[in-house]
Structures are given as structure tokens and as C-alpha cells.
């Protein structure tokens, strides 16, 4: 019996992460700087901040105004009901 083949360890395939184009990186950096500048002006109130987040369920970008102390969402664009409606329509079409 050949045991040399039994000693080999199978290697899992490497997951590849697609490279982000340089112009996209620069654009993202610019958005982050703009949001920090807006939050610094207290345009949304002393206790609120602007956030760009990816909605977990829909995987869409969402703009939120969030209370810094309580983490409560004060306002959201698009609103939660619009995200749910889009998800419902997507599920019905498939």
C-alpha cells in the first residue's frame, strides 16, 4: 500500500477578491472626507451624524442620519418601506 499519497494535504481553493480600480478608491476616499466634513459642521444637529451604509437585506447603499448617543436612525434614504417593497417586487418577479 502506497502511503505517500495519504500524507498529502488537500489545499482549499483560494478565494480571490476583485481589485478595486484606482479611480473608485479615490472616489470612495472623497466621499468619506465629504461625510466627515459634513458631520464636523453639525449640519444634522449636535447629536446626529450622516452615515452611508449597505443595507444587509437588500445589499443596497442607504444614507442615514443617526443619533450619535443612542444609535437611533433619525432619517433614512431610501426609507425602510421602499427597500422592503423593492425586495417584495424582486421576489415576485423570480
Summarize pLDDT for 32-55 with one digit per residue, the tens. 888 888 878 878 888 999 998 888
Check: CB of residue 69 under 8 Å from CB of residue 47: yes
Q: What is the per-residue pLDDT for 67?
A: 95
- Per-residue pLDDT at 12 exceeds 90: no
C-alpha 39/C-alpha 45 separation (Å) is 9
Proportion of the chain in helix, strand, coil states, percent, rounded to 5: 40, 20, 40
Three cell numbers, residue 77: 434614504
Average pLDDT, the chain: 82
- The model carries a pTM of 0.62
Greater pLDDT, 6 or 40 = 40
Amino acid at each position: 500500500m502506497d502511503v505517500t499519497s495519504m500524507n498529502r494535504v488537500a489545499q482549499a481553493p483560494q478565494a480571490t477578491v476583485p481589485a478595486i480600480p484606482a479611480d473608485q478608491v479615490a472616489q470612495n476616499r472623497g466621499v468619506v472626507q465629504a461625510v466627515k466634513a459634513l458631520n464636523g459642521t453639525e449640519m444634522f444637529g449636535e447629536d446626529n451624524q450622516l452615515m452611508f451604509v449597505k443595507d444587509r437585506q437588500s445589499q443596497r447603499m442607504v444614507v442615514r442620519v443617526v443619533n450619535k448617543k443612542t444609535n437611533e436612525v433619525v432619517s433614512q434614504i431610501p426609507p425602510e418601506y421602499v427597500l422592503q417593497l423593492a425586495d417584495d417586487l424582486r421576489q415576485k418577479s423570480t
